[in-house]
Amino acid sequence: MSFLIAILGLAFLILIHEAGHFFASLAVGLRPRKFYVGFPPPLVKTNRKGIEYGVGMIPLGGFVTIPGMHRPIPHDVERRFARAIAENPTIAGPVDHVKRSLEAEDFAGAPAELDELEQAVRHRQLSPGAQASADKGLTELRDALGSDAYWKAPTWKRLVAIVAGPAANIALTIVLFTFLFMTVAGNATSTVATVSPELQPGVDSPAQAIGLRSGDRIVAIDGQRVKADEIADTIAGSRGEELSLTVVRAGQELVLGPVAAQRVDDRLRLGFGLEGEGLGLLPSVARAFEVTGLVAKEIVKSLGRLLTGEGRDQVSSPIGITQASSDAVQQGAESYLWVLGLISLSLALLNLLPLLPLDGGHVLFALVEGARGRFVRREVYERVSVVGLAVVLLLFFVGLSNDIGRLS
């Protein structure tokens, strides 16, 4: 069950991302053609005001189709109508007319040539495969030549439509963190909420080893009385020396330990979490922005370290992310919401890398084209996309190898 919840949580983050693209595109007049919850084939679908809404059979996120992401080129025509020409050579003439219009960049005259091609396709007998390819080609070309095509839009509209995806994930992170600060993560108390079984694989956490339990109230460390906000710093400053915890359990004081803290993420920890008291709305929002900024800074640093060959062991694939989410589910709703917020933020920042086909790559090209006042050649887009896709796949396989090693 925890794995299912983890998978659905990741799907929800992807859906939020795509919803950001969808609603922002609508707002600036780019008119998306499709918005699906899940991936095709569709279980149900409907068409409203020229937009196809549907629920896909594969419940893993969602997708949006924005018309005319790229300026059309003759190769687009060749690719979609090759089978139709092979089956019925009389279609070659109208296809050639459309190609010549695109070669001459006559985007005003191309729609008329496209009408001629559509009539030719409609009045020829084609196999189902050739017909489907031709129909898709006609739809793609009409979208690319339409007045609401993405590539024709002003730079600011393109930026709004693309940045909205990562922005939606960042907004979700802030909402989740705000909720947590308002409920359980505002001000720490001295009462233990959770005890981690392990901080390192195969080794009991120090808190687990000394028998610390949820509900214990920590009153002293090494015989020195401590306040709730001093507990974490006292443990972190122990320099690895053994500590004893004095706790109140069922009305009696008990001394647990001694035990040495373990170093995790450059900080000494015993492996327990404290209950928190909620804050008000405005303080919670402020804390949520603060924590989001701090975590984003650390994520960017970790991505930067990859360029120097460091931090390779910190990369995870979807398998590792799902496993971490599943573990958080087992630790409780609070832990899971923290992890979901962190993953949402990571997804946003990863998508903002200046690599095609990621959102950051589209942002970069929109800015370059806006500054130059002319479009980048399609061949450049395709070559840069190959490089970006190779980098993304490399990160995936590095993360996959790390996850396999951790799981084994």
Domain ranges of the chain: 74-145, 190-277, 281-407
In percent, the amount of the chain with pLDDT more than 70 equals 94
Q: What is the rounded average pLDDT of the residues 269-279? A: 85
- pLDDT digit string (tens) for 47-64? 888 888 998 887 777 889
- pLDDT digit string (tens) for 364-377? 999 999 998 888 88
Domain spanning 190-277, CATH class: mainly beta
Instruction: Report d(CA 408, CA 399) in Å as an integer.
Output: 14
Q: What is the rounded average pLDDT of the residues 262-291? A: 87
Q: What is the pTM of this model?
A: 0.80
Give yes or no for residue 308 having a pLDDT over 70: no
- pLDDT digit string (tens) for 78-132? 889 999 999 999 999 999 999 999 988 888 888 899 999 999 888 888 899 999 9
Give yes or no for residue 200 having a pLDDT over 90: no
